[in-house]
Amino acid sequence: MTIKEKLIFFAKKNLPVVGLGISAVGALPPYGFLPCAFLSFAGLIFLLNRTETLKQAASLGFWFGFGFFSVGLSWVSQAFLIDGMGFKAFAPLPPVGFGLWGGLFPMTACMIAVRFPKGLRRLMAFSAVWGIMEWVRSWLLTGFPWNPIGSIWTPWPVMLQTASLWGVFGLSTATVFITGLPGLIKGWKIKELAPLWSAVVIIAVLTGYGFWRLKKAPDPQDVINGVQIRLVQPNIPQGKKWRKDEAEQNLMKLVHLSRAEGADKISHVIWPETATQFLLLEDNFARGMVTSALLPDGILFAGSLRTERNQDGRLEKLFNSVVVINDVGIELGHYDKSHLVPFGEYVPLAKLFPFIRKVTPIPFDFGTGQGVRTKIFPRTLPVGLLVCYEVIFPGRVAEKETRPYWLVNVTNDGWYGISVGPYQHFAAAQMRAVEEGLPLARSANTGISGMIDAYGRITASLDLGKEGFVDAGLPRRTDKATFYGTYGNSVPLIFCLMLLIAAALPYRKRSK
C-alpha cells in the first residue's frame, strides 16, 4: 500500500469519528443545539458496540476526543493573535495540543468500556468512566476541567438543578448515558425503540426534579435589602490594556462607568480582573481616582496586581488579586489568586526549560495565594472571591467551614476576543452557582458580566464585547448548603463507581 493509499485509508477510518467529536461542540455554549450531543454520543456508542479489540477502542476514543477538544478549545488561539505579543506563529498549536491531550480521556473511557458486554452495559461503563475522566481533568497537571459535557444544559435552568446533588461531573455522566442511549436502537419497531423511550423517561425525571426545586426557590428578584451591586465592563481591548500611554484613560473609563447614572443607589462596585495597570494599593493617584468612583460608604472590589516587598522596597512577590477599598481609599482586605494559569501566570518546570516564556507581558511568575477562603469585610456580607478561571473548578470555589453568602468572580476574557470562550466561561460560573447554592456576581473586562442567582438563573447581564455596566441586587443563597456543596466530588465519583459495578454484575439470560 502506497503512502497516499495509507493516508486515504486513515482519513476514511478516522475522520468520521473526528466529526462525531466536533458535533458534540455544537451542543456546548453558546450554540446549545442539543441534537448535536445525541448525534455525537449515539454515534460513538454505535461504533463502540461494534468494536472488538482494545486497539480499535483506543483509536475510536482518541479521535473522538481529538475532534471535541481541538474545536471546542480552538478559541485559545485568539490569545496568540493579539498585536504586539509576538506569538502569532504559534496560533495553530492550541487546537492541536488540546486535541492530542484531550483525546486521551475519551480514549481511556473507550478502552475500559470495551471490556464490558456490548449494549447497555458497555454504555453504562463508558458513561461512568467519562464522568471519572472529567474529574481527573480537574486536577491532573494542575487541572483544566473546561467544557464538561454537562454544561450543555446551562440554557435550561430546569435541567441544571440536579447539579446541586451530584455536581457537573454527575450531570455529565447522566448526559453521556442519555445521549448515548439512541445508539443502542436496533430497529424501528416499538419494542426496538426502548432505548429512545428510556432517554425520554430519564430526561423527564431530571426535569421533574428541576421543576420541583425551582418551584420552592425564591423569586430571582427577591434580593437582600441594602445591597445593590454595579458590575463594570470597560471593554478595553487586550492590545491596549497594558499600553502605558493608555493607562490613565483606561482608569478614567472605569471611574466614569462606576459613577454613571444610577450610581446613587449602588453600595458595591466590582471591577474586572487586573482592571488597571496601576497598583491600586501603592499608587496614590490611582487610589484617589478610585475613591471618586464611590459614594459615601461604598465599597469597591477591584481586580488589581498586588505586591509584597522587602525592607529595602524591592519587589519580592507579585500577585493577581482582588483588592477591596472603601470610599476614603482605605484597603479593607484582599484576596490573592491561588490557582494560576500555566504559561499565562507561571511557566511550569521553568528551570528545565528556561527558553520558554509566558504569554502575558509580566516577565516573572506570579505568587500563589492561600486558596479558597471566605472573606469578611466591613459593610458587606461574607464573600468568596475567585479570579478568572478559578471559577471552572467544581467543588473548589467556596469554603465549606465558613459558607459565604455570595461569590464574586472577576476575569479578563479580553485575551480571547469575540469567540465562544467567554460564553463557555460564563456557563461554568452558572454551574458553580447551582452546585453551591450561592449567587455569583461576575465582572469581565470585555464580557460576559452578570449576576447569577443560587439556582443558575441570570438576573442581569451585559453581553460580550459591550462597554457599560449592569446593576443588580444580590439574590439570596439557599438556606442550607446543597448536597454537593456539603460532600463535594465524592458524590459523583460514588455514583460513577456504582454505575461501573452495576455494569459488571453477572446476570442470567431469561429462559425462553
Q: Give me the active site residues, please.
A: 273, 337, 388
Looking at residue 447, its amino acid is G
Separation CA 71–CA 281 (nearest Å): 41
CA–centroid distance for 58 within its chain: 27
Please tell me what DSSP assigns to residue 117. Answer: P
Coil, helix or strand for 231? strand
Of 165, 161, 151, 251, the C-alpha closest to 209 is 161
Q: Is the peptide bond before 458 cis (omega within 30 degrees of 0)?
A: no
Please tell me what DSSP assigns to residue 342. Answer: B
**CB neighbour list of residue 212: distance below 8 Å, 6 or more residues apart:** none
Give the number of other Cβ atoms within 10 Å of residue 249's Cβ. Answer: 11
Label residue 190 exposed, middle or buried (CB < 10 Å: 0-12, 13-18, 19+). exposed
Cell numbers standing for residue 500: 461501573
Strand partners, 471: 230
Give the number of other Cβ atoms within 10 Å of residue 51's Cβ. Answer: 20
User: CB of 461 within 8 A of CB of 453?
Assistant: no
Please tell me what DSSP assigns to residue 346. Answer: B
Separation CA 189–CA 191 (nearest Å): 6
